[in-house]
Amino acid sequence: MIIAGGPTATFSDKYLLKDMPEIDICVRGEGEYTTFELIEHLKNNDGLSNIISNIKGVTYRKNGNIIRNQNRPFIKEIDIIPSPYLTGILKPEDLLNQNGEISILTSRGCVYRCTYCNFSAMSRHTIRYHSIDRVMSQCKF
């Protein structure tokens, strides 16, 4: 099974499924909960054929038709998403730019409408911030 995500799967889901039969499912928008739900059902051998119609944020094929489920609401409290810095997935020495600086994530989304960028469209022109405690703990890592 091939599951596509990210900006292309969010904005061009129907085209991806129409033109690429290798892709089974597109996860649209924020994929953390949607992908987790899909994988849990696959892991438990629940099969997706009867369950997928209830999973928000996916587009898939059924009987030759492309089905686009309801959008999944945004994650309100983004601090629940594990920090790649604090979990050790990303190491400080691997993140240094050529000036010896490290960037950290302090928010998700964007309110501007730049034509060359997909962050604003992905977030529906909204922004959500990590808590000050989360940002400060990332600064200490």
Reply yes or no on whether the pLDDT at 116 is more than 90: no
**pLDDT value, residue 18:** 96
**pLDDT value, residue 141:** 66
Q: If pLDDT is split at 50, 70 and 90, which confidence band does 9 have?
A: very high
Cβ pair 66, 22 in contact under 8 A: no
Q: If pLDDT is split at 50, 70 and 90, which confidence band does 53 have?
A: confident
**pLDDT value, residue 58:** 96
Q: How far apart are CA 79 and CA 48, in angstroms?
A: 30
Residue 53's alpha-carbon distances to 50, 85, 132, in angstroms, are 7, 35, 38
What b-and-e string marks burial along 59-81, b requiring 16 or more CB atoms within 10 Å of the CB?
A: bbeeeeeeeebeebeeeeebeee
Question: Could you read off the pLDDT of 59-110 as tens digits, one per residue?
Answer: 999 988 999 999 999 999 999 999 888 888 888 777 788 888 888 889 999 9
- What single-letter amino acid sits at 123? S
Select the more confidently predicted residue: 48 or 1. Answer: 1
Q: How far apart are CA 94 and CA 9, in angstroms?
A: 29
Residue 16's alpha-carbon distances to 11, 92, 126, in angstroms, are 10, 36, 26
Question: Could you read off the pLDDT of 25-40 as tens digits, one per residue?
Answer: 999 999 999 999 998 8
